[in-house]
């Protein structure tokens, strides 16, 4: 997008150059089959270590999954639900963090919804939705459409007071803003790599706090999910069916996985670590604030009121009568890549976004009628 501006990292982030190089190198190795594939397996361990460092947890608490939905389903399908259990979900959240919980209603689980007000969620509404029977709070760290950033620490405190678990869809924050599970004690977290993490589509992360792993009673079973699995086919009498499950989140990873994607994911994570998530987050918020401030000065309407505590890398503009969709279509037609979730004009700049790209956007917004 050298001639335009790419401002849709909240949709599908461009694959980072180191990730592209790693995928191409892995692709060159695959035609050689087992004779050339050996070195590619190291990428999974490297990605796991990088993700653990990014999240502030241990590698044993990290599993590599294809996408956010898979991680959410591991919890929704894995917990031992009882009739009358309650799950808190959020109004106008992305369907991937609503439908898995909604499906539990057939088993007698009750959903309580936190209403959206002014593009975000108020602490008192979250507190009101959590009840004595609440088993879990399913929250997105950042709303996919409005860009409202939820106070995860406050959510965790409210949930803990009720003895409830917290499962986070972090796909709109991980890789853009610091998120430490050491400081914010969520129980489960899932995020695809194809947005802010700069990895290939079809790769992602699932975090499970160590003392919560035993709660996931139903998880995928595959070759790599058992201790000593790599030894089962070596030597006479090596085949066994009594191996214990791995005592780590990786037990959910099943069998053979996307070697190409994992190689790219590991490389993208290496680049992110080299920059540092604090530096990334500072620039993401700086660019978002610049876009937000200029858009208001130009007469555009924000989907959420300005609030530094709730700001994220997403800036969304609203316009009446489908005006947002038309505005976004105009921008895209001129090479300025944005998107229109929920009818809003969603603008999402990353650390890698240049000042020239932002200049181009703002110059065009100055000529578009809100």
Look at the chain and report how many structural domains it folds into.
2
Tokens in use for 11?
């949709």
What whole-number distance in Å separates Cα of residue 346 and Cα of residue 264? Answer: 27
Residue 286 in any domain: the answer is yes
Of residues 244 and 340, more confidently modeled: 340
CA 39 vs. chain centroid, Å, equals 28
Same-domain check for residues 264 and 331: no
Q: What is the pLDDT of residues 101-158, one digit of tens each?
A: 999 999 999 999 999 999 999 999 999 999 999 999 999 999 999 999 999 999 999 9
Same-domain check for residues 128 and 210: yes
Same-domain check for residues 30 and 107: yes
357 band by pLDDT with thresholds 50, 70 and 90: very high
What whole-number distance in Å separates Cα of residue 246 and Cα of residue 34? Answer: 25
Residue 64 in any domain: the answer is yes
Same-domain check for residues 332 and 301: yes
Q: Identify the domain containing residue 304 by its residue range.
A: 5-15+276-365
Average pLDDT over every residue of 38-61? 95
Say which residue the tokens 């994607």 belong to: 261
Which CATH number do you get for residue 292? 3.90.1150.10
Which CATH number do you get for residue 211? 3.40.640.10
Q: What is the 3-state secondary structure (H, E, C) of 262-294?
A: HHHHHHHHHHHHHHCHHHHHHHHHHHHHHHHHH
Same-domain check for residues 288 and 332: yes
Same-domain check for residues 162 and 300: no
**Which of 226, 245, 274 is the last residue in one of the domains?**
274
User: How many CB atoms neighbour CB 270 within 10 A?
Assistant: 16
User: Model pTM?
Assistant: 0.94
Residues ≥6 apart with Cβ < 8 Å to 32? none
Q: Does residue 49 register a pLDDT over 60? A: yes
Q: What is the pLDDT of residues 289-316, one digit of tens each?
A: 999 999 999 999 999 988 999 999 999 9
Q: Report yes or no: 139 and 169 within 8 Å, Cβ to Cβ.
A: yes
**Which of 274, 296, 313 is the last residue in one of the domains?**
274
Tokens in use for 189?
């977290």
Sign of CA dihedral 269, 273, 276, 278: positive
Half-sphere exposure of 83 (CA within 13 A, CB side): 3
Same-domain check for residues 360 and 337: yes
Q: What is the 3-state secondary structure (H, E, C) of 6-69?
A: ECECCCCCCCCHHHHHHHHHHHHHHHHHHHCCHHHHHHHHHHHHHHHHHHCCCHHHEEEECCHH
Q: What is the pLDDT of residue 241?
A: 75
Same-domain check for residues 100 and 125: yes
Same-domain check for residues 166 and 181: yes
**Which of 274, 296, 328 is the last residue in one of the domains?**
274
What whole-number distance in Å separates Cα of residue 187 and Cα of residue 87? Answer: 14
Residue 360 in any domain: the answer is yes
Residue 370 in any domain: the answer is no
Same-domain check for residues 80 and 153: yes
């Amino acid at each position: 997008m050298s001639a335009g501006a790419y401002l849709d990292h909240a949709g599908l982030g461009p694959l980072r150059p180191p990730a592209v190089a790693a995928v191409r190198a892995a692709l060159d190795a695959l035609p050689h089959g087992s004779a050339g594939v050996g070195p590619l397996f190291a990428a999974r361990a490297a990605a796991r270590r990088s993700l653990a460092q990014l999240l502030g947890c241990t590698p044993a608490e990290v599993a590599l999954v294809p996408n956010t939905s898979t991680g959410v389903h591991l919890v929704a399908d894995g917990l031992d639900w009882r009739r009358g259990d309650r799950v808190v979900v959020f109004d106008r959240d992305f369907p991937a963090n609503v439908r898995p919980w909604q499906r539990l209603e057939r088993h007698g689980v009750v959903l309580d919804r936190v209403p959206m007000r002014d593009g975000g969620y108020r602490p008192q509404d979250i507190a009101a939705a959590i009840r004595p029977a609440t088993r879990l709070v399913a929250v997105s760290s950042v709303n996919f459409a409005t860009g409202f950033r939820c106070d995860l620490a406050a959510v965790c405190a409210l949930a803990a007071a009720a003895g409830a678990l917290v499962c986070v869809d972090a796909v709109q924050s991980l890789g853009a803003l610091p998120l430490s599970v050491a400081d914010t004690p969520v129980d489960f977290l899932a995020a695809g790599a194809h947005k802010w993490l700069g990895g290939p589509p079809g790769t992602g992360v699932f975090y499970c706090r160590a003392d919560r792993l035993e709660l996931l009673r139903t998880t995928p079973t595959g070759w790599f999910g058992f201790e000593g699995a790599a030894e089962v086919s070596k030597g006479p009498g090596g085949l066994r069916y009594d191996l214990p499950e791995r005592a780590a989140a990786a037990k959910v990873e099943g069998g053979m996985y996307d070697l190409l994607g994992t190689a790219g994911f590991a490389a993208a994570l290496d680049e992110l670590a080299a920059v540092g998530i604090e530096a990334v987050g500072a620039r993401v918020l700086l660019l978002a604030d610049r876009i937000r401030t200029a858009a208001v000065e130009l007469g555009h309407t924000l989907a959420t009121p300005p609030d530094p505590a709730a700001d994220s890398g997403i800036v969304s503009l609203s316009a009446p009568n489908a005006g947002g969709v038309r505005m976004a279509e105009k921008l895209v037609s001129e090479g300025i890549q944005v998107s229109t979730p929920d009818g809003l004009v969603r603008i999402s700049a990353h650390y890698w976004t240049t000042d020239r790209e932002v200049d181009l956007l703002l110059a065009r917004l100055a000529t578009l009628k809100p």
